[in-house]
Amino acid sequence: MVRLAQFDEEERNHLLNLPCPVFDTTPFVRGAVVSKARVAIISTAGLHRREDRPFVPGETGYRLIPGDVAANDLVMSHISTNFDRTGFQMDVNMVLPLDRLNELADDGEIGSVARYHYSFMGATDPTQMEDEARQLAAIMKKDGVDAVVLVPV
């Protein structure tokens, strides 16, 4: 397990001093009832299908991941070398828990699983992703999505 206090001083200071955008207010939309929600996942792990264009430094866009993607078709081209990738190598659900989401749908704990899921690459300044994120929200709404789980690495 990991907490900031457990990193060595240099790494802790690096993480603490990472520039974070400041938001004056927090938007808050009343959430759907979870047992009826249609759920999509957005990862920032730099995931994509093998045939897709890899992520490169400064990338602000996202890659689309079909809900029925085969585990062996997913790769990770995030540019950072400072987080663990071995968990993903052993089990895709470590960063994109589609199997777990499908199980929750089968058990009736959520309404359904979205047709598509998405990945950005988290090394980019989030303010540079604003346009893409807003456009993506509109697309997800057309897919009937009413709850989004965001997953970092």
Residues 7-66 touching another protein, rule: CB under 8 A, are 8, 10-11, 14-16, 18, 20-23, 26-34, 37, 39, 42, 44, 50, 54, 56-57
36 vs 144: CA distance, rounded Å = 12
User: According to CB under 8 A, which one of 66, 68, 103, 144 is a site residue for another protein?
Assistant: 103
User: According to CB under 8 A, which one of 66, 68, 130, 144 is a site residue for another protein?
Assistant: 130
Calculate the dihedral angle through the C-alpha atoms of 121, 123, 50, 101, rounding to the nearest 10 degrees.
-50
| Full DSSP string of 121-142 | BTTS-GGGGHHHHHHHHHHHHH
Minimum CB distance to another protein, residue 27 (Å): 4
User: According to CB under 8 A, which one of 63, 65, 69, 110 is a site residue for another protein?
Assistant: 110
Minimum CB distance to another protein, residue 19 (Å): 10
Segment 60 to 99, residues that bind another protein, using CB under 8 A: 71-72, 74-77, 79-95, 97, 99
**Other C-beta atoms within 10 Å of 128: how many?**
11
Region of 92 on the Ramachandran plot (φ > 0 left; ψ -120 to 50 alpha; else beta): alpha
**What tokens were used for 70?**
């085969």
Number of residues that bind another protein (CB under 8 A): 85
Looking at 24-102, which runs of residues are DSSP E strands?
38-43, 47-49, 63-66, 74-76
User: According to CB under 8 A, which one of 65, 69, 101, 114 is a site residue for another protein?
Assistant: 101
Minimum CB distance to another protein, residue 39 (Å): 7
